[in-house]
Amino acid sequence: MGGTAALLPFSDAFTRADGDLGNSWEYTAGKWTIASAKAVCTPGFVGGEILANPGFEGVYDDESGGLGGTVNVAPNWDQSACERTGGETLDRETVVIHGGLASQKVFVDQSNEGVITNANVLAATDLGKWYRTNWWLYGNGSNIRNDLGNGQVFDVVYAPSAAWTQYSVTGRLLTAATAKLRFRSSGGAVQFYVDDASVKQITLADMFSSRDFGNANVDASVALTMTAGCRAGLVLCLDSKTAPDDFLIASHDGTNAMLTKCINGSYTSLISAAAAYADGRVLRVVKSGNSVSLYYNGVQIGLTQDVTGDAYVNNTRHGLFSTSELSTLDSFAAVAS
Mean pLDDT over 110-129 rounds to 95
pTM for the model stands at 0.95
Worst-scoring range by mean pLDDT, 82-96, 250-264, 291-305? 82-96
Q: Residue 4 pLDDT more than 50?
A: no
Torsion of CA 216, 11, 250, 41, to 10 degrees: -120
8 Å CB contact between 39 and 329: yes
Give residue 60's pLDDT. 98
Helices (H), the chain: none
Mean pLDDT over 100-129 rounds to 96
Q: Residue 2 pLDDT more than 60?
A: no
Give residue 160's pLDDT. 84
> For residue 118, what pLDDT band results from cuts at 50, 70 and 90?
very high
The fold of the 10-44+204-336 domain, in CATH, is Jelly Rolls (2.60.120)
Domain boundaries, the chain: 10-44+204-336, 61-202
pLDDT tens digits along 196-223: 999 999 999 999 999 999 999 999 999 9
Give residue 28's pLDDT. 98
Q: Residue 3 pLDDT more than 70?
A: no
User: HSE (CB half, 13 Å, CA atoms) of 193?
Assistant: 23
Mean pLDDT over 306-317 rounds to 98
Mean pLDDT over 296-316 rounds to 98
Query: What single-letter DSSP state applies at residue 232?
Result: E
What is the average pLDDT value for the chain, to the nearest integer?
A: 95
61-202 shares the fold of 10-44+204-336: yes
Q: DSSP characters for 237-259?
A: EES-SSS--SEEEEEE-SSEEEE
Q: What share of the chain in percent tops pLDDT 90?
A: 90
The fold of the 61-202 domain, in CATH, is Jelly Rolls (2.60.120)
Cβ burial, residue 46 (10 Å; 0-12/13-18/19+): middle
pLDDT tens digits along 37-59: 999 999 999 999 999 999 999 99
Cα(39)–Cα(331) distance, rounded to whole angstroms?
A: 9
Mean pLDDT over 107-114 rounds to 93
Q: What share of the chain in percent tops pLDDT 70?
A: 98
Mean pLDDT over 52-73 rounds to 92
Higher pLDDT, 237 or 85: 237
pLDDT tens digits along 9-24: 999 999 999 999 999 9
Give residue 1's pLDDT. 43
Q: Residue 239 pLDDT more than 50?
A: yes
Closest CA to 112 of 148, 81, 91: 81
Q: Residue 258 pLDDT more than 60?
A: yes
